Amino acid sequence: MNEQKLFGKIRRLTGKAIGDFNLIEDNDRILVAISGGKDSWTLLHVLTELQRRAPIRYELIPVTIDPGFGDFDTGNIRDHLEQHGFNGHIEHTKINKVIDSHLRPGTSYCSFCARLRRGALYATAEQLGCNKVALGHHLDDHIETLLLNQFYSGTLAAMSPKLQADNGRQTVIRPLIYVEEPLIEQWAQLKGLPQIDCSCPALVRRDQKRQRIKQLVTALSEEIPELKKSLLNAMGNVQPRHLLDKQLKEF
């Protein structure tokens, strides 16, 4: 598919998710988290296109959290936002120093950093008067998280397309839940979107557990073409009476 057809498919899938889960409502002021990667750029562009067509009014506020890693190119992010008419906000933090001083042995560097970034996003949303925070997690992220939790944490959980933020004041939404990662990769490449690395320390960049799950899903998808769709459907087709949670049923 060419760029226009790819974007059209992404737009339709995103619009369906917004409708299915009531992700965007009239007069929403939405912080769109921009990391500089393909997913967040795609989210911003598709929400902007849907905004033009929507029968309701809502605002989009692109926000980038600068964690303080030395080579993070926030200037390139700002340039792309300005070129496309976005009034973005860069929030500079000292997350890198917090990690260095508070990371406990055995704790995942990436997970700790993600929690700190999320807290910074919520605080910035509060500062900017945003009632919602939009994140760029796609379909593959959701099913990988489902399997990661089952394999490594012993929990039956993934990521919700819509939930109340930890601070209780914003709503987190994930409009790309129906969009597969290869679709985003193809469109981002054809569109020429900038790919900006957060420049975290090289030794902690690789989430090896997630990569193993990604490889497993890819391999199984060759045998089971509808695997991803089936796993996504499973998250919306929970049968509590066939599970072991004592809080859900009495044995």
- In this prediction, residue 204 carries a pLDDT of 54
pLDDT category at 206 given cuts 50, 70, 90 is: low
| Overall average pLDDT of the 195-214 stretch | 75
Nearest to 133 by CA among 81, 61, 198: 61
The pLDDT, as a whole number, for residue 231 is 96
DSSP state of 59: E
Q: If we measure between CA atoms, which residue out of 173, 159, 171, 155 comes closest to residue 235?
A: 159
Question: Shortest CA distance to 179 belongs to which of 7, 30, 3, 58?
Answer: 7
Domains of the chain: 3-205 (3.40.50.620)
CA distance 42 to 172: 17
- H-helix or E-strand spanning residue 66: strand 58-66
- Supply the pLDDT for residue 203: 47
- Per residue in 107-151, pLDDT tens? 777 778 888 999 999 999 999 999 999 999 999 999 999 999 999
Q: Each residue of 30-63: pLDDT tens digit?
A: 999 999 999 999 999 999 999 999 999 999 999 9
Token pair in block for residue 161: 């397309």
Structure tokens at 149: 């939790």
Q: Are 198 and 191 in contact (CB under 8 A)?
A: no
Q: Which residues contact 98 (CB under 8 A, 6 or more apart)?
A: 116
DSSP 8-class letter at 69: -
When the pLDDT of each residue in the chain is averaged and rounded to a whole number, the result is: 91
Nearest to 23, CA basis, from 162, 168, 139, 138: 162
Torsion of CA 86, 92, 98, 99, to 10 degrees: 40
Q: What is the pLDDT of residues 58-80, one digit of tens each?
A: 999 999 999 888 778 888 999 99
Closest by CA to 60, choosing from 73, 47, 76, is 47
